[in-house]
Chains A and B, each alone.
Chain A
Amino acid sequence: MAKALVDLIARTFPDAIVETSAQHGDETVVLTPDSWKSVARFLRDDPRARLDMLMDLTAVDYPDREPRFEVVVHLYSLTKGHRLRIKARVGDAEGENAELDTLTELWASANWAEREAYDMFGVSFRGHPDLRRILTYPEFEGHALRKDYPAERIQPLVPYRDVPNIEKLAPFGRDEGMPFGRQTHAHGRLEIPSDEPESL
């Protein structure tokens, strides 16, 4: 069923498809960023496609690729019951110029999802009515789900209390609190004596 949709896009927009793939019966079409919105509008309005529901919009960061980000949209047809996944690749190696047309005027559910993709990955959506951060706060620097965002970097809104050893306050002992955490082990701030061999 969805394979027919891929053929339909290929016939209607011969230059729009970068590649296609299928997994477990779910068809994926990678589109050029320029054709992103026109193909999406076609998929929503054409009676053979009628993909009237945008289930999800998100992004994936592939730091070794160029273009670096892949914006993923899952579409579903409530009337016909079929699905299609469309993708577009944007952004250079530094994560700049990651721009794509907004789908907000086609599906209202794209509004917050695009804000989330902007907040977490820094992908800008041209024409979005209100492109602000949605999960983090306006003071947040950088984009948290980019692979080059330091894993231990936090940006507190209120300063931490001015007491000694704020990282591990009493009554927590040296191996209590968060014994497994990256913040205690990766930086060597806390050394837990152990009888177990290193290989564990």
Chain B
Amino acid sequence: MGDLISNNSEIVTPGDGQGFATTRLADMLAWAQKYSLFMYPFVTACCGMEFMAVSSPRYDFSRFGSEAPRFSPRQSDLLWVVGTIVQRQAPILRRIYEQMAEPKWVLAFGTCASCGGFYDNYATVAGIDKIIPCDVYVPGCPPRPEAVLDGLMLLQDKIQKGDRRPAVVKPRHDPVDDPGLGLVQVRRSRSSRPSNAPT
């Protein structure tokens, strides 16, 4: 997470109290692009359940401007490859990718799409990067919705910076594991919860 947030904005310069800002056109376009990702969900396997969880109200990735699914590759910018890709599907995925208009980004959702996972056999493509370039890999089998949101924010950060190098979502740090903060895990189980605990 820490890698995603830069200290201060490089594109907005404070004015002299008049609310004045300057920017560059490329930065403004990148800012617009990263908050209006039209997605094409290429959902093939069990990761699709987690994809539904991310898109539904509890995690709600439409907060990040990635709301509108477009089931035509010609109208979409972001290809979500969700699940295992077998050799027989590879031509379809390749064609979908080629039909998308530039600029376009690819997100590999889950271990199978990233590297084939444990499907090391005759049927499976060992990672979609073997056939199409990939921007962000979200590991997990399936990934937690938080990891997917991290992947989406990582992609937005890369779009803003114009960085096309592929990247992997790193695991989040759990603050409870940090002894210096003195936090305790609440609601671990209902039975161990004290009866007079504040709600």
Contact = CB atoms under 8 A, between A and B. Distances in A.
B117 A158 contact: no
A5 B180 CA distance: 73
A177 B131 contact: no
B151 interface: no
Given A171-B167, A178-B120, A181-B120, A157 B126 contact: no
Interface in A55-113: none
B161 interface: no
A7 to B, nearest CB: 43
Nearest to A168: B115
Interface stretch (B24-32, B35-43, B66-74, B83-91): B83-91
Contact of A157 (B88, B122, B132, B167): B88
Contacts, number: 68
- Contact-residue bracket for chain B: 20 to 34
A40 interface: no
A160 B130 contact: yes
Contacts of A32: none
A39 interface: no
B166 A170 contact: yes
B63 interface: no
Interface stretch (A17-25, A45-53, A147-155): A147-155
- Give the residue among A149, A161, A182 with the most B Cβ atoms within 10 A: A161
A158 B166 contact: no
B91 A158 contact: yes
A180 B120 CA distance: 10
A108 to B, nearest CB: 25
B122 A158 contact: no
Contact of A144 (B94, B122, B132): B122
A170 B164 CA distance: 12
Contacts of A13: none
Interface in B124-159: 125-127, 129-133, 137
Nearest to A152: B120
A155 B130 CA distance: 13
Interface of A: 135-137, 144, 149, 151, 153-158, 160-161, 166-167, 169-172, 176-178, 180-183
Interface of B: 87-88, 90-91, 94, 114-118, 120-123, 125-127, 129-133, 137, 165-168
Given A135-B123, A170-B165, 8 more contacts: A144-B123, A153-B122, A156-B87, A157-B91, A160-B130, A161-B131, A161-B133, A171-B165
